Amino acid sequence: MQYNNLLDNKTILITGGTGSFGKCFTKYVLKNYNPKKIIIYSRDEFKQFIMQNDMKEYADKLRFFIGDVRDKERLARALNGVDYVIHAAALKQVPACEYNPNEAIKTNIHGAMNVIDACLDSGSVKKVVALSTDKAVNPVNLYGGTKLVSDKLFVAANAYSGTCDINFSVVRYGNVAGSRGSVIPFFKNIIDKGGRELPITDYRMTRFWISLTQGVELVIKALAEANGGETFISKIPSFKITDLAQAMLPGCEMPEVGIREGEKLHEIMVTVEDSLTTYEYEKHFIVYPQMVWNDKQQIIPGGKKVEEGFSYSSGNNTWWLTIPEIQELLKDVDLEA
């Protein structure tokens, strides 16, 4: 999926651009398009230094901008002449957010407000896509709560676009396969140390399988198709955590150790309440906003409204990975450093 010429001669800014998504998105765009410029906006100069060295061949297309989403003036400066914005910056670690709630609120909520205001005032930004998470759906921890508020802010931002040619949308997915703090690197670490047991928090636990590239392609779909206010959700397979354990270490013991604080049995993407405004497409769902603020908001053609009471989670999915399929997918998993 490329959407020919979509990003050609465009200037794109990625908040949190040195993270795993930002690096993958940057490489994907540089490989498949001919952007005018990609601006990496983040607060860690060392990560920028590493990314700059890793992508020396694209030096003429990349700009590295030290800044924090908490700083609206700095954002405004960075957005000069930018066409598209991908908002990936966030505090994501659940325990860290629980222990530092004020900091999570400053980055995930106040930062979202700053991005929205700076984009609305820029005069150049046409499309903004914010990255969300399954944890924002019926949140049970502070991280999820802040991302729920962030999602609502980006959807409602379309009410303030006025005559500006700009729209805001959201993409939602769960833990990326191999991402830091997720189960695959946790199991791999045990196996690498010679362990023969892989602990399972709850035998009923399920998750969706999505790769970084699939996450990037969902964002590009949103850039291409969004009219404003949509939440895009990919159709992806589910797997059982017990099957993942057996795929990684066949025949291993799997002691059940109990669910962790702030953890869910299943990743939920579409709730029963969302079903009232959710449409199903060939490869994705879109949750449309319940309120309509302007005539730019329209249902994207090709979809069918889901039945009232529909929900979509890793537990009620109809597409499941087998152990051999998981083993095959694991070959392409790039564990984050």
pLDDT of residue 230: 97
Contact 15, 86 (CB under 8 A): yes
Report the distance separating Cα 80 and Cα 74, nearest Å: 11
Residue 328's contacts (CB-CB under 8 Å, 6 or more residues apart) are none
Report the distance separating Cα 57 and Cα 182, nearest Å: 32
pLDDT of the chain, 337 residues: tens digit per residue = 568 899 999 999 999 999 999 999 999 999 999 999 999 999 999 999 999 999 999 999 999 999 999 999 999 999 999 999 999 999 999 899 999 999 999 999 999 999 999 999 999 999 999 999 999 999 999 999 999 999 999 999 999 988 889 999 999 998 888 887 789 999 999 999 999 999 999 999 999 999 999 999 999 999 999 999 999 999 999 999 999 999 999 999 999 999 887 789 999 999 999 999 999 999 999 999 988 887 888 899 999 999 999 999 999 999 999 999 999 999 988 776 4
- Count of residues making up the chain: 337
Report the distance separating Cα 74 and Cα 114, nearest Å: 10
For the question of residue 304 being annotated catalytic, the response is no
3-state secondary structure of 39: strand
The separation between CA 266 and the C-alpha centre of its own chain, rounded to angstroms, equals 17
Give the count of beta carbons closer than 10 Å to the beta carbon of residue 260. Answer: 10
CB-count exposure of residue 101 (10 Å: 0-12, 13-18, 19+): middle
Question: Which of 10, 72, 127, 135 is the catalytic position?
Answer: 135
DSSP per-residue string spanning 235-257: ---EEEHHHHHHHHSTT-B--B-
Report the distance separating Cα 316 and Cα 218, nearest Å: 22
- The CA angle 337-178-91, to the nearest 5 degrees, is 70
Residue written as tokens 């040619």? 165
Check whether domain 11-174+210-235+269-314 has CATH 3.40.50.720, yes or no: yes
Rg value, the chain, Cα: 20
